[in-house]
Amino acid sequence: MQLAMLFDQDTFVETSAYTKRAITDFYTTESANEFEGVITGYGAIDGKLCFAFCEDATRMNGVIDERHAKKIADLYDLAMKSGAPVIGIFNSNGTDIFAGTAGLAAYGRIMSSVAKASGAVPQIAYVGGKCIGLAASIAAMFDIIIKEKNASLYVNSPAFTGKENAQDAIVAYTAEAPSCAGYIRSLISFLPDNNTRGIAVNECADNLNRKLGDLDFAGEALSAISVITDNGLFYELSHDYEPAASTVLATVGGVKCGIIATSYSKDEGRLTVSVAKKLTRFIRFCNAYSLPIVTLVDSCGVIFEKENENPYLSSELGSLAYAYATASVPKVTVIIGHAIGASFVLLGSKALGADLVYATNKSEIGALTAECGVAFAWNEHITADKSRDEFVSEWKETVSSPAVAAASGEIDDIISVNELRARICSALLMLTAKGSVKESCRKVLPL
């Protein structure tokens, strides 16, 4: 049923269709002639070649054994040779305890196949039933995880931990089965077949120079994203996980890209361990599949935890910086609100390799917010003749104004919200040729 919803009608072709349990395993089942609990094959999704494996809980309870793993490994070999995406549909009760180490090794063989394909072809995990224990770890290795509303995704059972949906942080989208299938089909249509395709540029169905007027995004990332994307269309990943930062796939000016945007209305758009992990994973995905990265910044820096500092915060912030700095795809950043402290550096700054950085004329950029800056540096100058609010306004007009940041060379231009889409479109189209010209190796002869 799940395969039928995913693939174009009458295109799915099964591989290794007659594989059955090994004779040495018969003592663990009442049915000696059961077919393996996984279906593998290929077909077309929106006309594009795709490969898929679907664990079938009605056959062997979807038990994972060595032949189950071999079918999946063989499928991956075909997918890698063809350079086509892989969809894994998870619905298994785990391994056969009587299979011993052979059953456990089966997990490792599947993990090996997924790891070798990582960054080469897009991989989408679809949790359509049970995905527990090591199977959950396999799903986590995929690029994008989709989960049916009533499916189970966990390493340790909630019956023991008392915590439901503990692994939902890694899920990009959750819905009923038909919606999940539709979402996956949309992603397959959007994504390149593999990592060799290069930047995708299509004819733009929207006005490249569409003006936005004097919009106020009210600190909402999705409001800003919706007005810069072509016809307001985009695919959001992990909407419910760390909403202070949004990650979406969209087309802007006909260029397929990934967009990162922080929401000032949610915790002032501050960076946390979880936000950093979310953004790092997304940047690496975009870089692997030649998707330019657009970053919309409205953040007051790093989260401040009163009780104690998270021991992984520095590490995850470092990983975020590393992801931006090493991403070779075009990177365009626009400060649409606040870029305070670490957020100015970490969210796609020129220092970390952004090709172009813009700031709106009403943005606030600096080491501290104006309120904190006044309290720290000018507090003693507040009098009855000049109030704190006046000093805050002065700070914004001088110390943390976009003009000061532009004077340092860290901002390429100061723009209005009205021209936000047009400038991003122009930048992306200009940068699509990035990396196509190699430096000359010709030696210049001395005169």
pLDDT, tens digit, for every residue of 41-50?
999 999 999 9
How much is the pTM? 0.91
Confidence of residue 390 (pLDDT cuts 50, 70, 90): confident
- 342-373: per-residue pLDDT in tens? 999 999 999 999 999 999 999 999 988 767 76
Residues 168 and 232 in one domain: no
Mean of the pLDDT values across residues 111-132?
96
The predicted structure's pLDDT at residue 97: 66
Sorted by sequence, the CB contacts under 8 Å of residue 44 that are 6+ apart come out as 7, 8, 11, 50
Residues 70 and 156 in one domain: yes
pLDDT at 22 over 70: no
Residues 295 and 182 in one domain: no
The predicted structure's pLDDT at residue 231: 97
Residue that terminates a domain, selected from 172, 190, 208: 190
**Where in the sequence is the domain holding 154, given as residue range(s)?**
2-190
The predicted structure's pLDDT at residue 255: 98
Residues 48 and 158 in one domain: yes
Residues 227 and 354 in one domain: yes
Give percent of the chain above pLDDT 90.
70
Residues 324 and 392 in one domain: yes
- 73-96: per-residue pLDDT in tens? 999 999 999 999 999 999 987 776
- 149-183: per-residue pLDDT in tens? 999 998 877 667 767 776 778 899 999 999 999 99
Residue that terminates a domain, selected from 150, 173, 190: 190
- 213-228: per-residue pLDDT in tens? 999 999 999 999 999 9
Residues 183 and 225 in one domain: no
Residues 171 and 307 in one domain: no
Residues 46 and 155 in one domain: yes
Residues 166 and 232 in one domain: no
pLDDT at 443 over 70: no
Residues 22 and 149 in one domain: yes
Residues 139 and 265 in one domain: no
When divided into structural domains, the chain yields a total of: 2
Q: How far apart are CA 263 and CA 6, in angstroms?
A: 34
DSSP 420-439: HHHHHHHHHHHHTTTT-SPP
Mean of the pLDDT values across residues 301-329?
88
Closest by CA position to 268, among listed 338, 216, 215: 338
- CATH number, residue 300: 3.90.226.10
Confidence of residue 26 (pLDDT cuts 50, 70, 90): very low
The predicted structure's pLDDT at residue 30: 55
Contacts 24+ apart (CB under 8 A), 229-232: 229/259, 230/204, 230/205, 230/206, 230/254, 231/205, 231/206
Confidence of residue 27 (pLDDT cuts 50, 70, 90): very low
206: DSSP letter = S
